[in-house]
Amino acid sequence: MPTLYVVATPIGNLQDMSPRAVETLRRVGLIAAEDTRVTMKLCQVFDIHTPLTSCHQHNEEGKGAWLAEKMLADNLDVAVVTDAGTPCVSDPGFGLVRAAVERGIEVIPVPGCCAAVAALSVCGFDTREFAFYGFLPREKKELREKLLSMAGQCPVAVVHESPYRVTELVSVIAEILPDARISASCDLTKLHEKTIRGTAAEVLEMLRNNPKTEKGEYCLALDFHQVKLEQEKPTADISLEARLTELMLPGLSLRDAQEELISRGEKKNAVKAAGLRLKRLFGEEE
């Protein structure tokens, strides 16, 4: 029976490549790589001559099944790698691993670098419980909702962010979760790696004052232990019409007020019906 090896690769420092990872990549019959050009350079450094095939986020569902069938047909051991870090952790690999598991192929991890774990290890927070969220939504409303949900569900969260959006992310955290603390790690394991820590406001100021902020990828640990979320007042006895009117008093349009109630969990049809009743009422008053 063939074996699929999930092999972690360095995230910046080639000295983090483990001897076991090198030996595994040399021994298998095929390497499934996120980007064969990137993995080819790694193979050249470590004198690995195993054939490569691409398996990335755009083809891994179909390619994973094809590779798994090939492994069974040819009794072929395969290693899956990504450009950097551990496959399947905010990186491709899931499609191939799932296909292998479904077919009864043994799947073995070859552990190594993982940016999220590296960032957690140096954050200084109580990380006995944490959750990993990868990249967060880009749209501001969705981002706010996601952050509030995260703060209510876990004590520490780990996220990835691009250097071009990290300042905006931290500014939103500072706005809606001012008691959160942040440890932001950039260029982990590389020559100029840096970790900054503090409240959301302090980290935001450091990012804004650093001319090199938009260089290098970020991994952030968010500490929600001290965050106190506001509890929404009970609204069961207040009509939807009254709640819409309350939202409209500061100047919100009826459409925006309806969207706000729907985002809070009210049923869309009920909110729309309440809006129609308000329209009729205003028409009668006019």
Amino acid 231: pLDDT: 61
* pLDDT higher than 50, residue 184: yes
pLDDT tens digit sequence for 255-278: 888 888 888 888 889 889 988 888
pLDDT of amino acid 232:
53
Q: What are phi and psi of 272, to 5 degrees?
A: -65, -40
Tokens 């500490």, located at residue: 223
Specify the CATH architecture of the domain 116-223.
Answer: 2-Layer Sandwich (3.30)
List phi, psi (to 5°) of 97: -60, -45
Radius of gyration of the chain (CA): 25
Angstrom distance (rounded) from CA 212 to CA 225: 30
Domain boundaries defined on the chain: 3-113, 116-223, 240-285
197, 185 Cβ separation under 8 angstroms: no
Q: Is 110 exposed, middle or buried (0-12, 13-18, 19+ CB in 10 A)?
A: buried
Cβ count within 10 A of residue 109:
13
Quick one: pLDDT at residue 279? 84
Q: Is the pLDDT of residue 26 over 70?
A: yes
CA gap 31, 278 in Å, rounded: 63
47: left (phi over 0), alpha (psi -120 to 50) or beta: left
Q: Does domain 3-113 have CATH number 3.40.1010.10?
A: yes
CA distance 212 to 235: 47
CA dist 139 and 168 (Å) reads 11
Residue type, 164: Y
Residue 105, both tokens: 């192929």
pLDDT over 90 at 102, yes or no: yes
